[in-house]
Amino acid sequence: MDYSTQLPFPRKMSYHVFMAFFGKPTLLFYLLRTGFIVYGSNLSEPVTFPYDQEVVKNLEVANKTELRTQLLEFFKQFNLKEADIAIVLSEQVIFHKVFPELEKDRLEKELTIFVNEVPFEQKNVISDSWSKDQITHIYALNKEIYEIFQPTIAELKWQIVSVLPLFMFFAADTDPQSFNNKNELTPEEVQYIVKNRDVVKTENLLILEPLVLRAPTLDDRLTTPQQKKYVTFGLILFILIVWLVIIFFLVRSFRH
């Protein structure tokens, strides 16, 4: 298949704007729900790889062997003996929630609830939080969506150097909705992402320690004092009703 013809762009764009993280040619993979786009210093324009819907569906990899075969065929067209790969996760492939800056205890509760609601097998879920400018972001995703690249990348003797969500590079846009329809990157955005090594060094998913999950408790889900007060009142009322019913039947039995 000639993937180079499957470009979603209406015009030619020059992407000779960056070269490397560590002296090697750099390719940036921008992951979308239906495929990914490759940007690179050796490419005259971006190239897109659409997922076969029988192979990748709803952000889950159904056929790893077939996808690896397709990826190898696709990557060989770049004719690179070595390359550093920067993977950027669009808002389409992550679950993302934003709060005013959270303290540690509240953050742990929110993250636990959030991760347990993500619709993937828990063993495949990776999650983290990130705070900037008094805003806390929590996010989660199916790690298979980027780990699937690793065997093919290794076979080509390339190296994945970073995996990061797009929002970390443009934190001024704190609303996740602002990225939902971000189906491509501009040359300026690509250049900024590749040069922003501070975020890469500190927030890289490749160095993230696995999150130890637990089932969310009722206390986790009660995030305000008012909610806790209502639940406490409800429990007291329930216990009172139970006791009244017991007393009623005891008194009735004595009368008989």
pLDDT digit string (tens) for 81-122?
889 999 999 999 999 988 888 888 888 888 888 888 888 888
pLDDT at 31: 96
pLDDT at 156: 93
How far apart CA 253 and CA 191 sit, in angstroms, is 83
User: What share of the chain in percent tops pLDDT 90?
Assistant: 32
Task: Report CA-CA distances (Å) from 8 to 13, 183, 246.
Answer: 12, 9, 71
**CA geometry: angle 165, 202, 102, nearest 5 deg:** 75
pLDDT at 62: 93
pLDDT at 23: 61
Pairing between β-strand 26-32 and β-strand 84-89 as defined by DSSP bridges: parallel
How far apart CA 159 and CA 83 sit, in angstroms, is 6
Q: 186 or 6, which is more confident? A: 186
Averaged pLDDT for residues 174-193: 78
182 three-class SS: coil
Q: What is the mean pLDDT of the chain?
A: 79
pLDDT digit string (tens) for 149-166?
999 999 999 999 999 999
